[in-house]
Each structure stands twice: as C-alpha cells, then as structure tokens.
Amino acid sequence: MGNLITCSISCDEWMDKISQWLDKKVGYIHDLEKNLATLENSMVKLKAKRNDLLRKATREEDKGGQRLEEFQVWLKKVESLDQKVDALLDARDVQLQRHGNISRKDGVGIMGMYGMGGVGKTTLLMQINNKFSEERCGFDFVIWVVVSKELHVEKIQDEIAQKVGLDGEKWEKKKKSQKTIDLYNFLKKKRFVLFLDDIWEKVDLTEIGVPFPAPENRCKVVFTTRKQGVCSEMMAEEQLEVQCLAEIEAFDLFQKKVGQKTLDSDPEIPKLAKDVARKCGGLPLALNVIGETMSCKKTVEEWRHAINVLTSYATEFSGMEDKILPLLKYSYDNLKGEDVKSCLLYCALFPEDDLISKKYLIDYLICEDIIDGSEGIERAENKGYEIIGDLVRASLLMEDADMEQNVCVCMMLFAKWHCGLHLNWEEKRRLSLCMQV
C-alpha cells in the first residue's frame, strides 16, 4: 500500500492544476479553446492514473492488503473534480466555442441563437463577433448591428453603410430603395459576416440590400432572438438555444457578485446564498443584479428577509411570463435613494436597448428636478455621474464599452417591468411628454 501513496503524489500535481483551472474559471473567454483542451487532457491523464492505482489496489487487496483511508479520500476528490470538469465542459461558456465553431463552418450561412431574456444571447454573440473581428477568418467585413423590437430597415442600412465605409453626405440624401441597391452592389463583391442582435421578427435581408448567404459567396448572418419561431422565419440552417447556467456555474457567478467578505460574515450566509441564487434560475442577468443587491447584506436576518420578499414577489408576479420580474423589483426596491430610482425609471422611457448619452441624460435629470441643480451645475452633474455609476454597478444600466463609456444602455427587461407595472398612466404620460421636448 505504501506504493499507492507514493504514486498518488504525482497525481496530486494534476489534481492541483485542475483545481486551479476550475478556480480561475477556464470558461472565461480568454484562451478558452486552449484552456479547455488542456483541462480535458489533464482530466483524462488523472483518470488514467486513478484507474492504474485502482487496479494496483485491487491486486494488493487480493493478497490481503487494505486500502488506506487517505487513498479513499483521494479517490473521492478525483470523483468530485471529474464531475466539476464535466459540468464545466458542458457549461454555457463552452457554448461559445461550439457556437463559434458552428458559425465558422462553411456550410452554415444563417445561424440563429435563441433563448429567454437575460440568458446571455447578446453577450455570447458579442464574444463571437470579437473573435471574428480579431481573427478575420478570410472575411472582408465583420458587421455588428443591434436591431431591437422596432424594426427600422433604413436604420440597419445606415449602420451597415457606416461599417463598410459607404456613409457620408451623399449616402444620407439617398432614398431607401437606392440604399438597398448600393448596399447590394457593394456587398455582393465582398465576403462578410453580419451579426444582428435582438431581432423580434423576420428581417428581410433583400429589402436591406444584404446578399443572401450561400455556399457560393461564403457569407454569413448570425443573429439572436428571444423567439425560436424567428429562427425558422429567417431560414436559419443552425438554431442554437442559449441556455441558463448550470447550478454550479450559477452559484459561482452569484458568489462572485456577492463577494467573499459578505459570504464570510456569518456561517449561515453561504447556505442562504444558495437559496437566493436558486431563485435566479440560472439567469445571468438575475444573478448579477441580485448578487450585487445582496453584496451589502451581512446579517442572516437580511438574507432571510430577502428570501421571504423574493418568495412573495414570485407569487405576486406568478401570472407573468418573465420569471425575472420579481427579482428586478426586489433589486429596484433596494436601490439607495429616490433619485437613483427615479433615474432608472427615467432611463426606461428611452427606446429599448437604446444608447443614451450620459451627458444628455444628466441634463434631462436636472431639468426634471430629479437631480437638484440649485447648488450649481457642476455639483449636479457630478451627482448625475454618481447615480449612473450606482445603476451600472447594480447591473441595471450597462455601459457601452465601444463608446468610451460616455453612454449607457437601459436593460430592456427592466424597461418592460417598469413601464408595464410600476408607473401609473399619468406619470408615464408626463415623462413621455418631457422626453419629446
């Protein structure tokens, strides 16, 4: 048996490596493919070692020997690592690799990614877009367009024109039909991949002037949508469902958002945290928002209260399609300061997923008296930036990375919740009128 323990020392190296990778979350996109391959490889080697040792142990047992307790513990550790690695390889981040590979396959012209709101479709599409932008893969153009609920063909045309360099004064004067012809004539000689984020109905590529992706032109269109039916309407050759995070992955994200300090503040909190995380149903949006909300709650009583409130909101909203609404309401209730809440409600009046200039938003907020401007404009503007910062940290507003952080985007789901349920008609009308000024 002494043999067995000596052998296990070399295996512990593998075990340590794998544990480290799991801690670091190999799934994160940087070097994803390489890291996952190495992880998988290491796990195969570790399991081969385990099998060798098990065979040796059986031989020793046949001769009357006995397994050391330590060996049993080691076997259990390997088993648990194996499960974690399996979960990770199956997990959602790996979808990126698979989706990325599929979207690179030559046979696939149109690919649709569907899934519920807040599940991470845009995030995945953006990651694929970044990969294509970095690696090029023989494409002349990698084009990203956000479509959103209201479909405006001309807006899409203008964005594509801008990305391929057809825009300018002359372009602006052209009619929609001319833009269709010009775009088509330009793109038919190019190899492009077009990413369309958040489509709600069929986007007619011909009407826009986008040549239909075919094996001959080796062009691609990849889009996201909440509705699976849209994938068929778009004639997507590949339809991929973006799924919620698996339990381990979800809890991992939640813990990160809550922070170790809060989790360690009482021995009972980690268990309660599991219950709260479970209520987020594996939705990244909910895990981020609720995780952030809970990060300042350091007593068991506060966590129990959160569970009670979330349970009662879930009943209140039980008829609603979006399971995320009670979670968003809870995080809204927990925002510190009426001005922060009012700012969020105000943002929700902007079109869904619209980019809002921070400067303009702050000007509006001052004019609306949501921010007190009586003590000087500079002070009021600083307050405005502080409020926006609070909302971004709470994952209720997003900053647009490409625009030097001068704009933020209102989360679509929040807008829906607030407009549908929270404001009364008079308030909505008043705010909408202000927006038109």
Ligand X SMILES: Nc1ncnc2c1ncn2[C@@H]1O[C@H](COP(=O)(O)OP(=O)(O)OP(=O)(O)O)[C@@H](O)[C@H]1O
Q: Which stretch binds Mg ion (CB under 5 A): 49-57, 114-122, 327-335, 357-365?
A: 114-122
C-beta of 115 vs 213, nearer to ligand X: 115
- Near Mg ion in 193-252, by CB under 5 A: 198
C-beta of 184 vs 200, nearer to ligand X: 200
Minimum Å distance from CB 257 to ligand X? 9
Closest-CA residue to 326 (of 336, 316, 339): 316
C-beta of 56 vs 278, nearer to ligand X: 278
Question: CA distances (Å), 352 to each of 335, 348, 355, in order?
Answer: 21, 8, 9
Is-contact 22 91, C-beta < 8 A?
A: no
Radius of gyration, alpha carbons of the chain: 26
| Alpha-carbon span 184 to 178, nearest angstrom | 10
Q: Which residue is nearest to ligand X (CB)?
A: 120
395 lines the binding site for Mg ion (CB under 5 A)? no
Q: Kindly list the residues in this chain that would bind ligand X in the complex (CB under 6 A).
A: 92, 115, 117-123, 198, 226, 253, 284-285, 288, 395, 412-413
Give the list of residues 6+ apart from residue 260 with CB closer than 8 angstroms, or none: none
| Alpha-carbon span 295 to 383, nearest angstrom | 23
122 lines the binding site for Mg ion (CB under 5 A)? yes
Minimum Å distance from CB 284 to Mg ion? 11
Minimum Å distance from CB 244 to Mg ion? 15
- The enclosing H or E element of 130 equals helix 121-135
Closest-CA residue to 119 (of 1, 278, 284, 241): 284
Total chain residues near Mg ion (CB under 5 A): 2
C-beta of 128 vs 306, nearer to ligand X: 128
C-beta of 123 vs 217, nearer to ligand X: 123
Minimum Å distance from CB 329 to Mg ion? 21
C-beta of 114 vs 303, nearer to Mg ion: 114
Minimum Å distance from CB 119 to Mg ion? 9
C-beta of 186 vs 414, nearer to ligand X: 414
| Alpha-carbon span 194 to 125, nearest angstrom | 11
Is-contact 192 75, C-beta < 8 A?
A: no
| Alpha-carbon span 17 to 376, nearest angstrom | 57
If contact means CB under 5 to 8 A according to the sort of partner, which of ligand X, Mg ion, none does residue 331 touch? none
| Alpha-carbon span 49 to 51, nearest angstrom | 5
Closest-CA residue to 283 (of 306, 320, 255, 251): 251
Minimum Å distance from CB 169 to ligand X? 34
If contact means CB under 5 to 8 A according to the sort of partner, which of ligand X, Mg ion, none does residue 334 touch? none
| Alpha-carbon span 100 to 180, nearest angstrom | 29
Minimum Å distance from CB 225 to Mg ion? 9
- Near Mg ion in 333-362, by CB under 5 A: none
Residue ranges that bind Mg ion, judged by CB under 5 A: 122, 198
